[in-house]
């Protein structure tokens, strides 16, 4: 869900031309992912995923100038997805 929020937020902002609307998608997906991670893994897990989510959002901006926006967003989303998967509760 977190990786989808990063890519989905960017896609909505790009295709509608309304960055605030993309921010709404980004925020809603981030909150939903954080809520689910909190339910399954507790406060520390949710805080860690939330911090990585924000870092992915911010971190995608500098490389976007060099490699393009979509590759940067997909790369950030992949890192967030891998971390979420690696730390998921497998019980």
pLDDT band per the 50, 70, 90 thresholds, residue 90: low
Tens of pLDDT, residues 13-49 = 999 999 999 999 999 999 999 999 999 888 998 899 9
Residue 91: pLDDT over 80: no
User: HSE (CB half, 13 Å, CA atoms) of 26?
Assistant: 23
Q: What is the mean pLDDT of the chain?
A: 92
Model confidence, pTM:
0.86
DSSP string, the chain: -HHHHHHHHHHHHHHHS-HHHHHHHHHHHHHHHHHHHHHHH-HHHHHHHHHHHHHHHHHTHHHHHHH-HHHHHHHHHHHHHHHHHHTS---
Q: Give the pLDDT score at 88.
A: 78
Domain ranges of the chain: 2-86
């Amino acid at each position: 869900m977190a990786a989808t929020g990063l890519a989905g937020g960017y896609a909505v902002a790009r295709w509608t031309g309304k960055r605030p609307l993309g921010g709404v998608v980004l925020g809603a997906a981030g909150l939903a992912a954080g809520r689910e991670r909190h339910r399954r893994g507790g406060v520390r897990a949710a805080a860690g995923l939330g911090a990585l989510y924000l870092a992915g959002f911010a971190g995608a901006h500098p490389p976007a100038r060099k490699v393009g926006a979509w590759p940067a967003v997909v790369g950030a989303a992949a890192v967030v997805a891998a971390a979420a998967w690696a730390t998921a509760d497998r019980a």
